């Protein structure tokens, strides 16, 4: 992809800019020195000022939501973030892609390379299998070199990001029994999106905690696809999401039987080595474990682990902010890579603690 020229800002459009991932793109990009947001769409809020709907975004005094007129948008921007619901994204992605615009899709529509798997889990046919073939799964820790050359990046799901980063070094280095993987994830409520729904109302969520989508959550095949690719074998995992009464954050606890002799120190070494040059993955020292609060508002993934000899099990814990590393921050990271910018540009802020 082209490098952004000096003194020139990249013109960017956000399609679907009134949900939490769209709003988070606005927040993150407000601090990106090389980007200018030239359009943001929302059908429901078309005509409204961004700063009126979201008073924390006073910086965007001159930006208003507009309906998604794709042809008009084409001229307005050099790169498109799509934060639309899955299903709705299929056609829009294809349109911008066919019109030669770099696209980063935050929906699930272009993440699963096999259209049959997509149809099985999402209940919809994929109408653009040829475009799907061109999509790169946008986890920089796996696909950096492909993302550099990509015109269409499928930004990973929040749970898959946390699970894949937790398992990748173990899987790649054959440290674990691939048939024994348990992924127990806990996510903040922003993961459910911004919506009018009693189930996510304050009084139902606050002081509560529950599992949901047991055995059926749509992020399962995404995790399996990438771990299978990394291991060269077909992997099936147990994945159980839970709902935390916090705004942001995913903590994922992974269990797997060790397949070779190992202790915590030796596994940590494997992890530290693989992630040594990754700007956004921190493998914590032995005895220190992640807390979602330590990554709140940031693009970092913290990883800690322990080998339990009594049960011959490796337990790995990862923490991300679901809206940043799990969505909009990773999307900006992908943009930086696609555009040849310094990878961490706009993504260097430290966690809001407390």
Nearest to 351 by CA among 288, 302, 279, 289: 302
Choice from 70, 113, 204, 272 touching a copy of itself (CB under 8 A): 204
Q: Which of 5, 75, 195, 261 binds a copy of itself (CB under 8 A)?
A: 195
The Cα angle at residue 321 between residues 215 and 150, in degrees rounded to 5: 85
How do 152-154 and 238-243 pair as beta strands? unpaired
Nearer to a copy of itself (CB atom), residue 84 or residue 292: 292
- Binding to a copy of itself by residue 217, rule CB under 8 A? no
One of 36, 133, 174, 194 touching a copy of itself (CB under 8 A): 194
Q: Is 202 in the site for a copy of itself (CB under 8 A)?
A: yes
Sign of CA dihedral 299, 321, 235, 286: positive
Quick check: helix, strand or coil at residue 3? coil
Looking only at residues 58 through 87 of this chain, which bind a copy of itself when binding is defined by CB under 8 A?
58-59
Contacts with a copy of itself, 248-287, as mask; x by CB under 8 A: xx-x-x-x--------------------------x-x---
For 43, the 3-state DSSP assignment is coil
Q: How far apart, in Å, are the Cα atoms of 299 and each of 66, 169, 271?
A: 28, 20, 19
Are 298 and 349 spatial neighbours (Cβ–Cβ below 8 Å)? yes
Candidate segments 2-10, 74-82, 118-126, 297-305, binder of a copy of itself by CB under 8 A: 297-305
Residue with tokens 């990878």: 343
158 is catalytic: yes
Q: How far is CA 165 from CA 183, 224, 289, in A?
A: 12, 13, 15
To a copy of itself, the closest distance from the beta carbon of 63 in angstroms equals: 13
Minimum CB separation from a copy of itself for residue 298, in Å?
8
Phi, psi of 240 (to 5 degrees): -125, 115
CB of 218 to a copy of itself, least distance (A): 14
**Residue of 15, 158, 203, 301 marked catalytic:** 158
Beta bridge partners of 94: none
Q: Residues 205, 230, 267, 338: which binds a copy of itself (CB under 8 A)? A: 205
Verify binding: residue 292, a copy of itself, rule CB under 8 A. yes
* Residue among 72 and 211 whose Cβ is closer to a copy of itself: 211
Candidate ranges 71-79, 97-105, 142-150, 307-315; the one touching a copy of itself (CB under 8 A): 307-315
C-beta separation of 241 from 132 below 8 A = no
233 Cβ partners below 8 Å, 6+ apart?
178
From residue 17 to residue 56, the character string flagging contacts with a copy of itself as x (rule: CB under 8 A) and all else as - is ---x--x---x--xx--------------------x-xxx
Between CA 265 and CA 283 the distance in angstroms is: 12
Catalytically active residues, by annotation: 158
């Amino acid at each position: 992809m082209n490098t952004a020229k000096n003194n020139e800002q990249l013109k960017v459009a956000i399609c679907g800019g009134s949900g939490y991932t769209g709003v988070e793109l606005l927040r993150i990009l407000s601090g990106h020195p090389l980007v200018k947001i030239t359009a943001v769409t929302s059908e429901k809020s078309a005509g409204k000022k961004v700063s009126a709907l979201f008073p924390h975004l006073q910086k965007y005094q001159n930006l208003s939501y507009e309906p998604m007129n794709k042809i008009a948008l084409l001229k307005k921007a050099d790169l498109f973030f799509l934060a639309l619901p899955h299903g709705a994204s299929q056609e829009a992605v294809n349109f911008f892609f066919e019109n030669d615009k770099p696209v980063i899709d935050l929906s699930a529509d272009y993440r699963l390379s096999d259209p049959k798997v997509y149809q099985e889990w999402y209940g919809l046919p994929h109408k653009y299998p040829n475009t799907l073939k061109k999509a790169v799964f946008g986890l920089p820790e796996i696909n950096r070199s492909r993302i550099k050359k990509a015109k269409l990046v499928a930004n990973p799901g929040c749970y898959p990001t946390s699970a894949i980063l937790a398992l990748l070094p173990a899987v790649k280095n054959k440290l674990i029994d691939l048939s024994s993987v348990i992924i127990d994830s806990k996510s903040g409520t922003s993961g459910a999106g911004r919506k009018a729904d009693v189930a996510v109302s304050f009084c139902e969520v606050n002081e509560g905690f529950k599992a949901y989508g047991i055995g059926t959550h749509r992020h399962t095949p995404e995790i399996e696809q990438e771990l299978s690719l990394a291991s060269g074998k077909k992997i099936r995992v147990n994945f159980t999401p839970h709902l935390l009464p916090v705004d942001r954050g995913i903590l994922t606890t992974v269990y797997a039987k060790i397949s070779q002799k190992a202790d915590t120190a030796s596994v940590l070494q494997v992890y530290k080595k693989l992630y040594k040059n990754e700007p956004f993955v921190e493998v914590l020292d032995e005895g220190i474990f992640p807390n979602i609060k330590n990554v709140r508002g940031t693009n970092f993934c913290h990883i800690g682990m322990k080998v339990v000899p009594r049960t011959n099990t490796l337990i790995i814990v990862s923490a991300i902010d679901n809206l940043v590393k799990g969505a909009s921050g990773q999307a900006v990271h992908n943009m930086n890579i696609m555009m040849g910018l310094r990878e961490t540009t706009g993504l260097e802020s430290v966690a809001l603690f407390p």
